[in-house]
């Protein structure tokens, strides 16, 4: 029993990181119908920006988190303006290939600038571990969960209660109609990229804090898993990405708990295949009205 | 028509130029190889200077450079050693490419490297085909020298082999720590990790011990909570983790977070300053590793090396990889001296005949499988520092 709860806690910590990354995938897909494969690398860049602001500018964890989110937001907008905007009316496969190109460019550009060696993340906040009924919940898992929940609530607020959120929902519904209604489509798409990338940046910093090691290729696997999570929940649907991320984390944790730790990554992709076969629209697939 | 003719002439000229260029480079190549008369012997270093285990390669390189500086002060029978370094990026296919470049392009007499068993295996066949000996400073897998029961004549190493390291760890656990219930956590993508674990389990079972849990991960994993939770449920008295520092650092940290406070044992794969950064100083208390060397050893040869190393690298204390890189060059230099030339095949014969060579990591003698017979040390981590615990001699 203890072991079961412990494994669920492990899974939720992992899952909330997937969820944060998956949100960016799903928002971008919802609005421009593009699988932004460079998203996992924005996550990596966020982790490094967090690292540099902590170890070279001696900032605390929260200022580092905010700087990283802001920098990633700008970075995400730049990627969109430079690489994706010229292709907005091109075929979807062209945009997809460009996304893969951008992803490789960011990965190997980072290796060129700082080398491929992994970096140990500084331990900034000595958090106390929580012990309930023999289950150990590390302070960091609580922090991950808290930061994720706050950011997700904030995102829901932006999407449903603000003007830009309304514009995003409108553009995702029908881009041409939105344009006719006087919505600035370019700015709305930029804002979507900015918000999604900021979430990835935040995920990068908390990933660094939790797992203490970062490297230029760290974004590939979490990026792919987050993509699975987004599809699992129904791509384009915000609550779907959150649930999909958490679910995938818990599934992976249970696979390891059953003694098949080496199959963990494989199972994530088996889940993807099953979802595509059984419920191509994802778990929240029917809920089309909520997409952004 | 005329245009085509011109193009044809032009192309044939290009071809001729290409052939000639090929000729000239190959002749200069052979001249260098038969040389050594020119006063230098080329030594290649195929090392992990970047990538996952960059810390090993960088450390070995420092040791190699120190040894080459020292040797070149006097020279070997008037000849100097010239080092050519390639970076294999901690990747097996890059290691093959690197060895190929060193042998065919730079025409080296011998290669030092790579650091890990997997990367060393990747260059073994090429070295064998081209008849150039290589010395791995730290590739501990027994498969490096003997594969499928057949000895690779050109493979040598400076470190002891996996079975010995696993046995020493099991011996230390049962005799000194007096613990018998072990959990084993293996990197299933690494020959090194599997080799250590196999001999560890073997010795432990023969001496009344028991393996209560066996879990696995693959290199580059970052989340080990699930495996550790499973291990915790079996209540082991200690955990054996024969992996590399990048994952081990995270494993130790996550294990302590989950309240697994039992002793942990590992091999020389732990030996890196990065381990301390990843795991944290406190988490590393109550962990022990088997290793080739300790800077805390009072042997005068060790202390002389420590002094020379600190003088060259701004007071940095040498680790085992520094020592093994350093020893590999002396191992090679001794063979070159006895061979009397830079001819790779003569060097190979001389290396195989090494007996009783006194090195920083112990007195070395090669057995028939080209494996050194020498002592191992046990180190304990105390507040992030390695403390010399005891020395274990081969039986």
Q: Which of helix, strand or coil describes residue B99? A: helix
Terminal CA-CA length for chain B: 83
**Alpha-carbon distance B141 to A133, whole Å?**
44
Contacts of A253 in chain B (CB under 8 A): 225-226
Nearest to B52 among A7, A118, A221 (CB): A118
Question: Would you tell me how many other CB atoms lie within 10 Å of the CB of residue B353?
Answer: 11
Regions in chain A scoring below 50 on pLDDT: 287
Contacts of B223 in chain A (CB under 8 A): 10, 14, 211
Residue whose C-alpha is closest to residue A117's, from B275, B220, B321, B54: B54
Longest dimension (CA), chain A: 60
A235's tokens = 């791509």
**Contact yes or no for A120 and B226 at CB 8 A:** no
Residues B138/B175, Cβ–Cβ less than 8 Å: no
Task: Tell me which chain A residue has its CA closest to the CA of residue B232.
Answer: A3
Contacts of A110 in chain B (CB under 8 A): none
**Contact yes or no for A213 and B246 at CB 8 A:** yes
Angle at alpha carbon of residue A59, lines to A214 and A139, rounded to 5°: 65
The answer to whether A3 faces chain B, any CB pair under 8 Å, is yes
Contacts of B249 in chain A (CB under 8 A): 120, 212-213
Contacts of A138 in chain B (CB under 8 A): 257-258
The answer to whether B258 faces chain A, any CB pair under 8 Å, is yes
Residues B161/B371, Cβ–Cβ less than 8 Å: yes
In order, the DSSP letters of A138-206 are -HHHHHHHHHHHHHHHHHHHHHHHSHHHHHHHHHHH-HHHHHHTT--HHHHHHHHHHHHHHHHHHHHHH
**Alpha-carbon distance A34 to B350, whole Å?**
63
Residues B296/B212, Cβ–Cβ less than 8 Å: no
Residue whose C-alpha is closest to residue A120's, from B113, B283, B308: B283
Residue ranges per structural domain of chain A: 15-218
Q: Which of helix, strand or coil describes residue A257? A: helix
Residues B123/B95, Cβ–Cβ less than 8 Å: yes
Nearest to A211 among B52, B216, B222 (CB): B222
- Our CA-based measurement puts residue A234 at a distance from the nearest CA of chain B, in whole angstroms, of 26
Burial B233-269 (b: 16+ CB within 10 A, else e): eeebbbbbbbbbbbbbbbbbbbbbbbebebbbbbbbb
Pseudo-torsion of CA A4, A9, A15, A17, nearest 10°? Answer: -160
**Alpha-carbon distance A174 to B114, whole Å?**
58
Regions in chain B scoring below 50 on pLDDT: 1, 16-37
Burial B180-204 (b: 16+ CB within 10 A, else e): bbbbbbbbeebbbbbbbbbbbbebb
A6's tokens = 């412990």
Side-by-side strand order, sheet with B210-217: B210-217, B181-187, B238-240, B264-266, B287-291, B376-382, B385-392
Domain with residues B41-160+298-375, CATH architecture: 3-Layer(aba) Sandwich (3.40)
**Alpha-carbon distance A225 to A107, whole Å?**
17
pTM for the structure as a whole: 0.73
Please tell me the predicted confidence (pLDDT) of residue B28: 38
**Contact yes or no for A118 and B226 at CB 8 A:** no
Residue ranges per structural domain of chain B: 41-160+298-375, 163-291
The CA–CA distances, whole Å, from B57 to B48, B49, B130, B290, B309 equal 4, 5, 24, 19, 17
Find the radius of gyration of the CA atoms of chain A.
Answer: 19
Beta strand segments in chain B, E: 40-47, 80-87, 110-113, 134-136, 146-147, 150-151, 155-157, 181-187, 210-217, 238-240, 264-266, 287-291, 355-359, 362-366, 372-373, 376-382, 385-392
Nearest to A211 among B50, B215, B250 (CB): B250
The CA–CA distances, whole Å, from A19 to A95, A118, A262, B27, B375 equal 24, 24, 22, 61, 51
The answer to whether B246 faces chain A, any CB pair under 8 Å, is yes
**Contact yes or no for A253 and B226 at CB 8 A:** yes
Residues B103/B132, Cβ–Cβ less than 8 Å: yes
**Alpha-carbon distance B368 to B2, whole Å?**
70
CB pairs under 8 A between A and B: 82
Residue B191's contacts (CB-CB under 8 Å, 6 or more residues apart) are B117, B118, B121, B141, B143
The answer to whether B75 faces chain A, any CB pair under 8 Å, is no
Q: Which residue reads 């902590």 in tokens?
A: A54
**Contact yes or no for A211 and B223 at CB 8 A:** yes
**Contact yes or no for B249 and A115 at CB 8 A:** no
Chain B interface mutation, best of A13, A213, A218, A219, highest count of B Cβ atoms under 10 Å: A213
The CA–CA distances, whole Å, from A269 to A221, A228, B129 equal 11, 7, 41
The CA–CA distances, whole Å, from A54 to A122, A124, A203 equal 7, 8, 16
Nearest to B230 among A11, A218, A257 (CB): A257
Chain B neighbours among A 244-273 (CB < 8 Å)? 252-253, 255-257, 259, 261-262, 264
Residues B294/B386, Cβ–Cβ less than 8 Å: yes
Residues A121/A209, Cβ–Cβ less than 8 Å: yes
A272's tokens = 């993807």
The answer to whether B359 faces chain A, any CB pair under 8 Å, is no
B86's tokens = 């390639």
Pseudo-torsion of CA B154, B160, B161, B164, nearest 10°? Answer: 150
B208's tokens = 């009344």
Please tell me the predicted confidence (pLDDT) of residue A58: 86
Task: Tell me which chain B residue has its CA closest to the CA of residue A5.
Answer: B229
Helix axis angle for A39-55 and A2-32, nearest 10°, is 110
Using the Cα atoms of residue B350, residue B355, residue B360 and residue B361 in order, give the sign of their dihedral: positive
Find the radius of gyration of the CA atoms of chain B.
Answer: 23
Residues B155/B257, Cβ–Cβ less than 8 Å: no
**Contact yes or no for B280 and A123 at CB 8 A:** yes
Could you tell me where the DSSP H helices lie in chain A?
Answer: 2-32, 39-55, 61-79, 92-114, 139-161, 163-173, 175-180, 185-211, 220-233, 238-257, 264-278
pLDDT digits (tens, 9 = 90+) for A176-234: 999 999 999 999 999 999 999 999 999 999 999 888 889 899 999 899 999 999 999 88
- Our CA-based measurement puts residue A223 at a distance from the nearest CA of chain B, in whole angstroms, of 14
Please tell me the predicted confidence (pLDDT) of residue B38: 56
B189's tokens = 């993508």
Contacts of B234 in chain A (CB under 8 A): none
Domain with residues B163-291, CATH architecture: 3-Layer(aba) Sandwich (3.40)
Residues A7/B226, Cβ–Cβ less than 8 Å: yes
**Contact yes or no for A115 and B253 at CB 8 A:** no
Whether residue B114 has a cis bond before it, omega within 30° of 0? yes
Using the Cα atoms of residue A209, residue A214, residue A219 and residue A224 in order, give the sign of their dihedral: negative
Phi, psi at residue B315, to the nearest 5°? 75, 10
Please tell me the predicted confidence (pLDDT) of residue B4: 54
Contacts of B229 in chain A (CB under 8 A): 3, 6-7, 10, 257
């Amino acid at each position: 029993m203890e072991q079961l709860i412990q494994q669920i806690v492990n899974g939720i910590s992992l899952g909330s990181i997937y969820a944060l990354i998956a949100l960016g995938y799903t928002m971008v897909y919802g609005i421009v119908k593009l699988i932004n494969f460079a998203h996992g690398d924005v996550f990596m860049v966020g982790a490094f920006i967090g690292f540099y602001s902590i170890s070279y500018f001696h900032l605390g964890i929260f200022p580092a988190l905010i700087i990283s989110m802001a920098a990633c937001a700008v970075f995400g907008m730049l990627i969109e303006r430079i690489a994706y905007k010229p292709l907005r009316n091109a075929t979807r496969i062209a945009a997809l290939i460009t996304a893969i190109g951008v992803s490789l460019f960011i990965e190997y550009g980072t290796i060129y600038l700082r080398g491929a060696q992994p970096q140990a993340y500084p331990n900034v906040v000595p958090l106390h571990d929580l012990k309930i009924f023999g289950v150990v919940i590390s302070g960091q898992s609580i922090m991950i969960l808290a930061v994720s929940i706050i950011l997700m609530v904030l995102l829901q607020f932006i999407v449903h209660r603000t003007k830009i959120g309304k514009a995003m929902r409108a553009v995702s519904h029908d881009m041409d109609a939105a344009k006719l209604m006087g919505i600035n489509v370019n700015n709305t798409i930029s804002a979507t990229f900015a918000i999604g990338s900021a979430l990835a940046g935040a995920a990068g910093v908390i990933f660094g804090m939790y797992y203490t090691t970062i490297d230029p290729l760290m974004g590939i696997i979490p990026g792919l898993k987050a993509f699975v999570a987004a599809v699992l929940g129904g791509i384009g649907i915000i609550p779907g990405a959150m649930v999909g991320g958490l679910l995938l984390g818990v599934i992976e944790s249970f696979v390891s708990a059953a003694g098949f730790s080496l199959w963990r990554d494989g199972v994530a992709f088996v889940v993807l295949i099953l979802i595509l076969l059984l419920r191509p629209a994802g778990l929240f697939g029917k809920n089309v009205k909520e997409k952004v | 028509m005329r245009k085509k003719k011109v193009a044809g002439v032009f192309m044939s000229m290009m071809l001729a130029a290409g052939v000639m260029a090929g000729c000239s480079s190959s002749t200069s190549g052979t001249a260098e190889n038969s040389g050594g008369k020119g006063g230098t012997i080329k030594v290649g270093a195929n090392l992990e200077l970047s990538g996952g285990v960059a810390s090993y390669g960088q450390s070995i390189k420092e040791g190699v450079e120190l040894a080459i500086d020292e040797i070149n002060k006097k020279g070997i029978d008037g000849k100097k050693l010239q080092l050519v370094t390639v970076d294999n990026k901690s990747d097996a296919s890059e290691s093959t490419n690197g060895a190929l470049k060193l042998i065919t392009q730079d025409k080296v007499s011998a290669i030092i490297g790579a650091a890990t068993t997997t990367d060393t295996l990747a260059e073994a066949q090429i070295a064998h085909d081209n008849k150039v000996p290589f010395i791995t400073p730290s590739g501990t897998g027994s498969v490096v020298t003997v594969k499928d029961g057949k000895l690779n004549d050109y493979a040598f190493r400076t470190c002891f082999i996996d079975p010995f390291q696993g046995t020493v760890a099991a011996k230390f656990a049962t005799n000194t720590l007096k613990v018998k219930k072990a959990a084993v956590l293996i990197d299933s993508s690494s020959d090194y990790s599997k080799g250590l674990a196999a001999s560890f389990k073997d010795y432990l079972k023969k001496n009344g011990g028991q393996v209560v849990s066996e879990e696995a991960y693959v290199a580059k994993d970052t989340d080990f909570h699930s495996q550790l939770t499973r291990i915790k449920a079996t209540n082991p008295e200690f955990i054996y983790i024969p992996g590399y520092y990048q994952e081990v650092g995270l494993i130790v940290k996550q294990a302590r977070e989950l309240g697994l406070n039992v002793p942990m044992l590992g091999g020389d794969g732990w030996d890196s300053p990065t381990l301390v950064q990843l795991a944290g100083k406190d988490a590393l208390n109550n962990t022990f590793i088997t290793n080739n060397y300790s800077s805390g050893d009072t042997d005068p040869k060790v202390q002389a090396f420590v002094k020379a190393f600190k003088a060259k690298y701004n007071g940095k204390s040498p680790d085992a990889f520094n020592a093994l890189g350093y020893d590999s060059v002396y191992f090679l230099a001794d063979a070159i001296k006895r061979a009397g030339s830079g001819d790779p095949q003569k060097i190979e014969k001389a290396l195989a005949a090494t007996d009783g060579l006194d090195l920083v990591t112990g007195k070395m003698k090669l057995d028939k499988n080209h494996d050194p017979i020498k002592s191992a040390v046990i180190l304990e981590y105390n507040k992030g520092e390695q403390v010399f615990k005891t020395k274990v001699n081969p039986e």
